[in-house]
């Protein structure tokens, strides 16, 4: 890691990314617009809702089927020794 850090230590980023006279980077400039924030909030809400829905469905299925799973369990010979 130290070798990689040392090899790029003197690089200024003028070749790609920020121009010599540019004060802000592209990321800071993009964050001043409304579209990236709208997309970020939408994706955060969508992923959160999808996760909650998936967990709720899984809990419901397990809650409904836990009795049928327990009643269909078969005793194995290993269980006889306990």
pLDDT at position 43, please? 94
82, part of any domain? no
How many domains is the chain built from? Answer: 1
What are the DSSP calls for 8-63, one per residue?
TTT--S-SSSS-TT--S-HHHHHTTSHHHHHHHHHHHHHHHHHHHHHHHHHHHHHH
Residue 53, token pair as written in the block: 């829905």
- To which residue do tokens 């909030």 refer? 41
**Considering the domain boundaries, does residue 53 fall inside one?**
yes
Note whether residue 28 is domain-resident. no
pLDDT score recorded for residue 82: 54
Ordered per-residue pLDDT tens for the chain, 82 residues: 888 888 877 776 556 666 666 676 778 888 889 999 999 999 999 999 998 898 888 888 887 777 666 566 666 665 555 5
Which domain covers residue 65, as residue numbers? 39-71
Examine residue 63 and state whether it is found in any structural domain, yes or no.
yes
Residue 57 resides in a domain: yes
| CA–CA distance, 71 with 82 (Å, rounded to integer) | 19
């Amino acid at each position: 890691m130290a070798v990689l850090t040392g090899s790029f230590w003197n690089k200024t980023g003028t070749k790609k990314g920020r121009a010599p006279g540019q004060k802000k980077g592209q990321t800071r400039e993009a964050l001043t617009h409304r579209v990236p924030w709208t997309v970020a909030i939408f994706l955060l809400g969508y992923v959160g809702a999808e996760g909650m829905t998936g967990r709720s469905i899984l809990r419901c299925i397990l809650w409904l089927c836990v009795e049928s799973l327990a009643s269909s369990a078969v005793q194995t010979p290993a269980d006889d020794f306990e």
